[in-house]
Amino acid sequence: MSKQHNDDSIEKLLSEMPNINDKKTFDDYYEKVLEEINIEDEPKKKKLLGYCQQYQLPLHFV
Amino acid sequence: MKAVFQELYEKYHQDLFSFIYYMVKDQTTTEDLVQEVYIRVLKSYDTFKGESSEKTWLFSVARHVTIDHFRKYGKQKKHTANQFDVNEHSNLLKDQSPTPQEIAEKSEEIQDMYKCLDECTEDQRMVIILRYIQQLSIKETADVLNWTTSKVKTTQHRAISVLKELMLQREGGHTE
C-alpha cells in the first residue's frame, strides 16, 4: 500500500539518515596532508633561501 | 600541527566525511575532498578568529571545497528549485549508483530518500544534510553557508516539498 508522505514524515525520515563512516585512519590523512603542505611550502622556502643567500641573511629566516 | 589536526579529526572527522559523502556520493572523491579541507584548515588555522564555532568554520571550508569540486568537474546540476518537475525525473527508479553499507542496511524508505537527494539542487542538498543529518540549527546552517536564516528556511521548505513529491512518486512505483 502506498504511504502518504507529508512534511513531518519527510523530516523524520531525513533525521534517521545515517552518518557514513570513513574506513581511513587519522594516520592515513595526517601523512598525506603533511606531504601536501610541505610540497606547497617548498617554492616559498626556496625563494626565502635565495633572498637569504643574496643578502647574506642568517638561514633561520627560512 | 599534529596536535591541532588530531583534535579536529577526533571532534569532527565523521561528521565532515559524512557531509561531503552525501554531497558527492563517492568514497574516493570524498577522501580527496576531506584531505583538501584539512589542508586548507591547517594552513589558515592561525587566522581563525573564533567569530563562528570551530565546527561551522570547518563545514564552511568543506562547503567551499565541495563547490570548487563541482565547478572543476562540471557536475553541478543546472536545474533550479523553481524549474523542478517530477515528471522529468521518472528515471529515478533506475538509479544504479552504488549505495554505501550504512544506507543499504536501513529501510527501503531510507534507501529511497538517499536516492531522491540526488534530485535536489546542490543548495537544497547542503541545507538538508546540515539541518537533518548533521543536526545543525538554522543559525548554524546560515553561518556555514554564509546565508541569511530566511534563505535557509526557504531553501529547506522547498527541498522538503521536492523530496515529498519524489518519495510519493517512488512509493507509487514500488506498488505497481
Q: Which of B64, B97, B130 is the last residue of a domain?
A: B97
State the total domains in chain B.
Answer: 2
Contact A13 B43 (CB under 8 A): no
Tell me the percentage of chain B whose pLDDT exceeds 70.
84
> pLDDT confidence of A60, banded at 50, 70, 90?
low
* d(C-alpha A30, C-alpha B6), whole Å: 8
Please, are residues B127 and B156 in contact by the beta-carbon 8 Å criterion? yes
Q: Which pLDDT value is given to residue A46? A: 64
pLDDT per position as a tens digit, B106-115: 999 999 999 9
Residue after which a domain boundary falls, among B46, B78, B97: B97
User: Is the C-alpha dihedral spanning B110, B112, B118, B120 positive or negative?
Assistant: negative
B106, containing H or E segment: none
Whether residue B50 is found in the same domain as residue B72: yes
**Identity of residue A40:** E
Cβ of A33 within 8 Å of Cβ of B114? The answer is: no
Q: What is the pLDDT of residue A52?
A: 64
B35:A26 CB<8 A: no
DSSP B94: G
User: Looking at the domain assignment, is residue B102 inside a domain?
Assistant: no
Residues of chain A neighbouring B6 (CB-CB closer than 8 A): 26, 30
The percent helix, strand, coil of chain A (3-state, each to 5) is: 65, 0, 35
For the segment B122-133, the average pLDDT, to the nearest whole number, is 97
Q: Is the pLDDT of residue B169 over 60?
A: yes
Which residues in chain A have their CB less than 8 angstroms from residue B62's CB?
none
Q: Tell which of B97, B120, B145 closes a domain.
A: B97
Q: Is the pLDDT of residue B61 over 80?
A: yes
Chain-chain contact of B172 with A2 (C-beta, under 8 angstroms):
yes
Q: Are residues B15 and B82 in the same domain?
A: yes
Contact A24 B31 (CB under 8 A): yes
The whole-angstrom distance between B76's CA and the closest CA on chain A is 22
- Same structural domain, B122 and B35: no
Tell me if B114 is assigned to some domain. Answer: yes
Whether residues B84 and B128 share a domain: the answer is no
Q: Is residue B77 domain-shared with residue B118, that is, in the same domain? A: no
Name the closest residue on chain B to residue A1, using Cα atoms.
B175
**Distance from the B39 Cα atom to the nearest Cα atom in chain A, whole angstroms:** 6
Q: Is A17 exposed, middle or buried (0-12, 13-18, 19+ CB in 10 A)?
A: buried
- The average confidence (pLDDT) of chain B is 86
- The residue-averaged pLDDT of A3-21 equals 92
Query: Quick check: B133 pLDDT over 90?
Result: yes
Same domain, B67 and B126: no
Virtual torsion, Cα A13, B9, B142, B145, nearest 10 deg = -100
More confident residue, A35 or B85: A35
- A21-42 mean pLDDT: 86
* Angle made by CA atoms B109, B115, B118, in degrees to the nearest 5: 140
Residues B113 and B90 reside in one and the same domain: no
Q: Are residues B22 and B81 in the same domain?
A: yes
Return the SS3 of B73.
helix
* Gyration radius from chain A CA atoms: 26
Among the partner residues B14, B30, B161, nearest to A19 by beta-carbon distance: B14
* Domain interval for residue B2: 1-97
Q: How far is CA B73 from CA A43, B24, B25, B167, in A?
A: 27, 11, 14, 29
pTM of the model: 0.80
C-alpha cell at B158: 522547498
Q: What is the mean pLDDT of residues B26-55?
A: 88
Question: Hey, of B29, B43, B134, B165, which one would you mutate to test binding to chain A, going by the most A CBs within 10 A of its CB?
Answer: B43
* Residue B1, pLDDT score: 78
Same domain (yes/no): B87, B115: no
- Specify if B128 maps to a domain: yes
B63 versus B73: the higher-pLDDT residue is B63
C-alpha B131/C-alpha B109 separation (Å) is: 19
Q: What is the CATH number of the domain that holds B2?
A: 1.10.1740.10
Q: What pLDDT sits at residue A48?
A: 63
Give per-residue pLDDT as tens, B137-163: 999 999 999 999 999 999 999 999 999
- Please tell me whether residues B60 and B122 are part of one structural domain: no
ipTM metric: 0.81
What pLDDT is stored for residue A59 in this prediction? 60
State how far the Cα of B14 lies from the Cα of B79, in Å rounded to an integer. Answer: 30
SS3 state of residue A2: coil
